[in-house]
A = this chain, B = another copy of it.
């Protein structure tokens, strides 16, 4: 029943008697009348007996509703003065919340960093979720180890050793809600150990540098050349307690760290006691040869390996992992444990996904798909008419993005022209450390993983249109 009863001059809009019944309906209606000001502060309410008679309901129901609202502070009940509306100004309705309008979604999105979300293996994931949740002991659903579920840490240790040459003990793995959370934890631990300065690459994600800065660490860019990041420069860098690198596939330039540079960074770490943070964000996606094994295998006591499901599955999972030197485990778990943990259901599901082989199958099919994308990008650039300037494309041996070199001075205008045409893309300059020593290069960082299949051809055409 929906009804509106005029009672002592006040309309009570009683909602249909649902699960809550009459008492609940009356409580809600009275609360609403007070809240909106229809019952003014100080107003004396009819006695429960007379309101009950008016409404044709039991007196107890009214008395209970009054009691509820007194307990909540909307009404007051004083000996001798009856039940009144609490004598406080009615709170104004909250001001409209700041609406964060999602920016108009671009027609085509070639920004790097996101895999093809349309290819998320929904059916296989749900199958794994069912198996994992069915098998999980009840206590797995409680507050847990800050390092993450043991099932997942065991599955990761096995997978990372097999696929990436990582030397991992499940006891030294820390599951976290994305790479940035891992970096935040490491930043806090480094800072607590007295580190004030960390070396980074000349090109990288500004958001990652900000995580480090927020942790109280000053970032210092290492030089970059055709052999990738020059880690030999670490030796001349006084007081850097750590270095953040993307050895398998420099982000965003796309080259692997040269073997001499790999050796140099491990030597530096051993000599100075420094720590190497290895960001292996897309190590699984290498097309023309075997993946380059993780740097961590060279010295698990000095290298922290960081991996993520954000590129291989989906960023929305919020699952990443660190393989820590044993000496860092307790400190990192303490920083993480105090506040932030990851949902266990997704952890258990990913463990099942890894051990059942579904992860390998998914990565293999994704690798094929991304390789085809890359090949068609290269072909599209090759097919441009001979009269336009040639565009050099680099960083294509692996990953989900490529770097397109542009004529000097043209990057900004190309990015702008693309935006006007509804094509979202990033210029290389947005990845450059503000104190990088090399001359700025004009280039585009083209993510070919993101567009859904049906939009890929159109995205490619739009890209070719805006190139000089």
Contacts and interface: CB of A to CB of B under 8 A. Distances in A.
Contacts of A300: 91, 94
Contact of A290 (B24, B134, B214, B293): B24
A129 to B, nearest CB: 6
A31 B67 contact: no
A76 B343 CA distance: 44
A138 B118 contact: yes
Contact of A293 (B31, B92, B207, B327): B31
A73 B298 contact: yes
B76 A259 contact: yes
B341 A177 contact: yes
Nearest to A258: B71
A210 interface: yes
A289 B68 contact: yes
A431 interface: no
A289 B262 CA distance: 68
A72, A74, A141: most-surrounded residue (chain B CB, <10 A): A72
A354 to B, nearest CB: 14
A342 interface: yes
How many of chain A's residues touch chain B, expressed as a range? 35 or more
Nearest to A94: B300
Interface stretch (A4-12, A120-128, A218-226, A433-441): A120-128
Given A171-B98, A297-B35, A210 B142 contact: no
Interface stretch (A42-50, A272-280, A309-317, A385-393): A309-317
Contacts of A97: 169, 171-172, 326, 329
Given A120-B141, A180-B339, A266-B73, A95 B326 contact: yes
A35 B298 CA distance: 8
A338 interface: yes
Contacts of A267: 88
A325 interface: yes
A143 B315 contact: yes
A292 B105 CA distance: 44
A343 B300 CA distance: 29
A158 to B, nearest CB: 13
B329 A343 contact: no
Contacts of A143: 113-114, 315-316
A316 B132 CA distance: 14
B73 A140 contact: no
Interface in A1-40: 19, 23-24, 27-28, 31, 35
B64 A289 contact: yes
A97, A314, A315, A360: most-surrounded residue (chain B CB, <10 A): A97
A412 B167 CA distance: 46
B326 A344 contact: no
A117 B142 contact: yes
A184 B338 CA distance: 10
Contact of A177 (B93, B177, B316): B177
Contacts of A72: 165, 259, 262, 292-293, 295, 297-298
B142 A315 contact: yes
A219 B310 CA distance: 39
A301 interface: yes
Nearest to A256: B71
Which 10 A-B pairs rank lowest in CB-CB distance, beginning with the nearest?
A: A97-B171, A316-B344, A73-B262, A141-B316, A141-B314, A117-B138, A72-B293, A97-B326, A91-B299, A118-B138
19 contacts: A27-B290, A64-B289, A64-B290, A71-B256, A72-B293, A73-B259, A73-B295, A88-B263, A91-B301, A97-B172, A117-B138, A117-B139, A117-B141, A118-B138, A138-B452, A144-B316, A178-B339, A207-B338, A316-B344
Given A91-B301, A140-B316, A144-B316, 16 more contacts: A24-B290, A64-B290, A68-B293, A71-B256, A73-B266, A86-B263, A88-B298, A100-B171, A138-B452, A177-B341, A178-B340, A181-B339, A207-B338, A318-B341, A319-B343, A345-B346
